[in-house]
Structure 1
Amino acid sequence: MKNLKSKYIGCASLLIAITFSTACKKEYLNPNAATANDVLTSAKGLTGVTVGLQKTFSTSRAGLLYAAITVNGLTTNELISINTGNTNEERLVAGGVQVDGTNTVLLNIWVGANKIIYDADNVINNAANLADKNYAAGLIAHASIFKALALGNLSEYWEQVPSGTGQNVSFISRIEGYNKAISTIDNALSVIAANPINASFLGNIPSGLDIPNTLNALKARYALFSGNYALALTAANAVDLTKRSTFTYDALNLNPIFEVATSTNNVIQPKNLNLGQTGTNVPDANDARIPFYTAVNTTVRINGFGAGTFTQFPVYLPGEVTLIKAEAHARQATPNLSSALTELNKIVTKTAATDPFGLGAALPALTGTYTQQQLLDLIYKHRCIELFMSGLKLEDMRRFNQPLADRKRNFFPYPFQERDNNTNTPADPAF
């Protein structure tokens, strides 16, 4: 992560090194309140906290990025568990009642997301008081990205999500969670429109993240997930598809997929060369995305964005944004099937040479007349391939009405750590 700007990590640690035993209460108290207050009133301190958000999200086995990809992949048959001794992963593969509130991979998502939301709110609220409004805009926008990602992850895996932070918080619906992420993004976009982010801030955070494009891409994602197709299309059209936005890594902060799974071959790997797809959703034999995402070394192994120690991981893919456009066109009150097919074909025919990440199917264009349902079926198929191991497939399976039998859970039980400390915790879903 390009050293994570180590000169700021000391400040970040004041708020990040919190005892997770109280995380279920979503009240993250710092034992040295005076020092914490100093952190939250200086540009340097707030920078340390927001850099820490990126570290918490994108690195290590306990990080939100790795945990979400693992939970999603094992639940939707993208991935298999390699070692039967990894009890929590094995139970995700078994699914159903085998997944309960003790699962530590799920707990990593729950605790990590709530911690990120808490710290992001501290940055967003306190940055507004800084004299340098352009630097403050950078802080607010950067922290808003991680707050939105945290809210999005909670809303994908649980039917209801905490309404805020503190003891015995109430819960809101997952759709309200997505809308809360959109509101967070809208605020950030408004702030940077009024006060463009200055070079000083950008020089103090890890390289790789394209803040304006990421905000619009995430807005498009969560608008799509919440069923607001007009907004999804507008936000997607605001994204520059020639740009990359990535998490970057270094010797101290390794790519978590490579560190935990690829290098060890002891936790997770792709299920097969069909990426776990069956029936009409099996990739075409010549789809060039298969050798991008997989490698064969006796067995099928992770490639793509988990290929190396320092491999950059995309915050979003340009292909996702194009597929959002295709789906939004197809799902509008008055579907625009012609435009939906045009956008879908941009993904089907895209070559590695024309994609910022070198990801392309390189297939012939789809031709002919398609019904709305046929187009949606094709969009789902290509989302499963284009966005392999992105942590988004479970939401896609629900949205495209895929059979329940094709996934191991539909929603997840709430961690016991939450239930034991919050009387407002909802009942667990049946499946």
Structure 2
Amino acid sequence: MKKTIKNLTYTAMAVLLIQATGCKKNFDNPNAATSGQVFSSAKGLAGVAVGLQRTYVANVAYGMYDATGLLTNETILLNVGNGSEAQFSAGGTAVDGTNALLGNVWASASKVIYDANNVINAAGLLTDKNYASGLIGYATIYKALSMGCMASYWEKVPDTIGVTNTTFSDRMIGFNRAVAAIDKALAAISANAISSTFLTDIPAGVDILNTLNALKARYSLFAGNYSAAMAAANAVDLTKKSTMNFDAANPNPVFNSVTSTNNVYQPVDSTLGLPPAIAPDLADKRIPFYTLINPTINPRFRLNGFWNAALAPIPIYYPGEMTLIKAECYARQATPDLINGNIELNKVVTKKAAADALGIGADLPVVAPATIADLLTQIYRNRCIELYLSGMKLEDMRRFGRPTGERKRNLLPYPFRERDSNTNTPPDPAF
């Protein structure tokens, strides 16, 4: 049975339906309050900003966990009746523009970017600059995440959201645009510290400043800007966490649609989808963190970690991710630094769960890669384990030059809803 991703409201006065197409993007709902009403007050803007998180996690993030997991062999399909997932599981040309989940990711990411831009622009007009900086920072988090999603999945990304027949640019430009948006938000916060009042108006869990720096590190790395990635990763307080929290009305979407139903996908096994040569050590304590064993009913391996309860928070970034970014930057800088790269790598390899803000710990002996190539392989291996089902593995596979046989697609086709209404839509990649 195909699962349903339900629409979520922003606030009572801002109910906006997701209607993204390649022609004129109409993101308005005629039954909602006018944009002038919503965007002229701080509280109205906060309501729209809160909606960004809901739309992102229920549609964009959910879709990335789903698609990436199946495309990179992190997960196995349980029910071929789930049409979109069946395409991902088969891979190759089976994944096409009819894929409903991909269409929803494209539309929802576009929606988040569009609304975030409106929040950011309107916040700049508020007289309370401290409240405004909170709005700008918070909205930019979900804008950057959505831009990063599109750049991770599609070969080219739209230049403008919300216009007829937008043009497209290379996906690396998409990552750089996400970083540029983050830099503007960081500048706004530096000029005017976020007010405590704003923090009471948004869901608990999100650490705005640390998250902006973490996302800057992530997307700078993806864009190949290693000096910026290193500086941003160093700016993140690794003792802090930043999460998307849930309540009974808006439960964890992976638990709600996947874990609790056992009808969509589950972990492939203790390898977490890695080939034998770099599969996790069975003593790696991240395996029981991310998976559970069902001794009586198939599939044997079940989701654990951040998807084992309706109210389980999902992290926006991982402290271990920042450490592995530093290790990778040392390995990829103009003069590779094997010593410091190994030091950062081993901080993750030897880390105990109690020392991690999210409770993730391998707790293994040190490793000693002897060459930069070996170091990069171990960084990739540990990213796949530490960041399991985070939606980043497909990007990692390309960046680390993994064999194409280890994944089922390289980049994804554009939704037909975009192609049919935008003559500038690029051709689909062959694989």
Q: TM-score range by the shorter chain?
A: over 0.9
Contact 2:22 2:165 in 1 (8 A): no
The residue that corresponds to 2:226 in the other structure is 229
Cα distance change of structure 1 residues 284 and 7 upon mapping to structure 2, 3 Å threshold: closer
Q: Does the residue aligned with 1:301 lie in a helix, a strand or coil? A: strand
The residue that corresponds to 1:421 in the other structure is 421
2:116 paired with 1:114 = no
What letter is aligned with 2:228? L
Residues 280-310 of structure 1, C-alpha deviations (whole Å, 9 max, x = no match):
2100110000000000113110000001110
2:302 paired with 1:306 = no
Which structure 2 residues correspond to residues 78-97 of structure 1 after superposition, within 5 A?
A: 78-97=74-93
Distance of 1:262 and 1:245 partners within structure 2: 22
TM-score, normalised by the number of residues in structure 2: 0.95
Residue-pair matches, total: 419
What letter is aligned with 2:54? K
Higher helix residue share:
1
Q: Does the residue aligned with 1:218 lie in a helix, a strand or coil? A: helix
Cα distance change of structure 1 residues 98 and 349 upon mapping to structure 2, 3 Å threshold: same
Contact 1:26 1:114 in 2 (8 A): no
By how many angstroms is 1:41 displaced?
Answer: 1.2
Contact 2:270 2:282 in 1 (8 A): no
By how many angstroms is 1:96 displaced?
Answer: 0.7
The residue that corresponds to 2:341 in the other structure is 340
Distance of 2:419 and 2:10 partners within structure 1: 35
Contact 1:11 1:44 in 2 (8 A): no
Q: Give structure 2 stretches of 5+ with no counterpart.
A: 1-7
Distance of 2:122 and 2:318 partners within structure 1: 31
Q: Does the residue aligned with 1:326 lie in a helix, a strand or coil? A: helix
Contact 1:8 1:44 in 2 (8 A): no
Contact 2:216 2:229 in 1 (8 A): yes
Contact 1:25 1:418 in 2 (8 A): no
What letter is aligned with 1:388? Y
The residue that corresponds to 2:132 in the other structure is 136
2:68 corresponds, among 72, 82, 90, to: 72
Distance of 1:9 and 1:26 partners within structure 2: 21
Contact 2:23 2:165 in 1 (8 A): no
Distance of 2:122 and 2:417 partners within structure 1: 30
By how many angstroms is 1:40 displaced?
Answer: 1.1
Residues 256-285 of structure 1, C-alpha deviations (whole Å, 9 max, x = no match):
111011000000111111111112210011
Which structure 2 residues correspond to residues 234-313 of structure 1 after superposition, within 5 A?
A: 234-297=231-294, 298=297, 299-313=300-314
The residue that corresponds to 1:47 in the other structure is 46
By how many angstroms is 1:26 displaced?
Answer: 3.3
Contact 1:349 1:363 in 2 (8 A): yes
By how many angstroms is 1:97 displaced?
Answer: 0.7
By how many angstroms is 1:17 displaced?
Answer: 2.5
Q: CA RMSD in A?
A: 1.5
What letter is aligned with 2:106? W
The residue that corresponds to 1:365 in the other structure is 366
Cα distance change of structure 1 residues 373 and 24 upon mapping to structure 2, 3 Å threshold: farther
Q: Does the residue aligned with 2:261 lie in a helix, a strand or coil? A: coil
Cα distance change of structure 1 residues 108 and 94 upon mapping to structure 2, 3 Å threshold: same
Residues 357-384 of structure 1, C-alpha deviations (whole Å, 9 max, x = no match):
11100000113x6111010001000001
The residue that corresponds to 1:315 in the other structure is 316
Q: Give structure 1 stretches of 5+ with no counterpart.
A: 1-5
The residue that corresponds to 1:394 in the other structure is 394
The residue that corresponds to 1:3 in the other structure is none
Distance of 2:27 and 2:359 partners within structure 1: 41
What letter is aligned with 1:124? I
Cα distance change of structure 1 residues 158 and 8 upon mapping to structure 2, 3 Å threshold: closer
- Larger mean CA deviation between 32-41 and 249-258 belongs to 32-41
Residues 60-114 of structure 1, C-alpha deviations (whole Å, 9 max, x = no match):
xxx1111111111000000111111111101111011100000011111100100
The residue that corresponds to 1:10 in the other structure is 12
Distance of 1:174 and 1:327 partners within structure 2: 21
TM-score, normalised by the number of residues in structure 1: 0.95
Distance of 1:69 and 1:7 partners within structure 2: 22
Distance of 2:273 and 2:10 partners within structure 1: 42
What letter is aligned with 2:14? A
Residues 302-349 of structure 1, C-alpha deviations (whole Å, 9 max, x = no match):
000001110011001100010000001100001111110000000000
Residues 399-431 of structure 1, C-alpha deviations (whole Å, 9 max, x = no match):
000011111100001000000110110011011
Cα distance change of structure 1 residues 172 and 21 upon mapping to structure 2, 3 Å threshold: closer
Distance of 2:301 and 2:11 partners within structure 1: 38
The residue that corresponds to 2:122 in the other structure is 126
Q: Does the residue aligned with 1:335 lie in a helix, a strand or coil? A: coil
Distance of 1:7 and 1:200 partners within structure 2: 22
By how many angstroms is 1:22 displaced?
Answer: 4.1
The residue that corresponds to 2:3 in the other structure is none
What letter is aligned with 1:136? A
By how many angstroms is 1:239 displaced?
Answer: 0.2
Cα distance change of structure 1 residues 287 and 33 upon mapping to structure 2, 3 Å threshold: closer
What letter is aligned with 1:222? Y
The residue that corresponds to 2:5 in the other structure is none
1:192 corresponds, among 189, 192, 198, to: 189
By how many angstroms is 1:12 displaced?
Answer: 3.0
What letter is aligned with 2:52? L
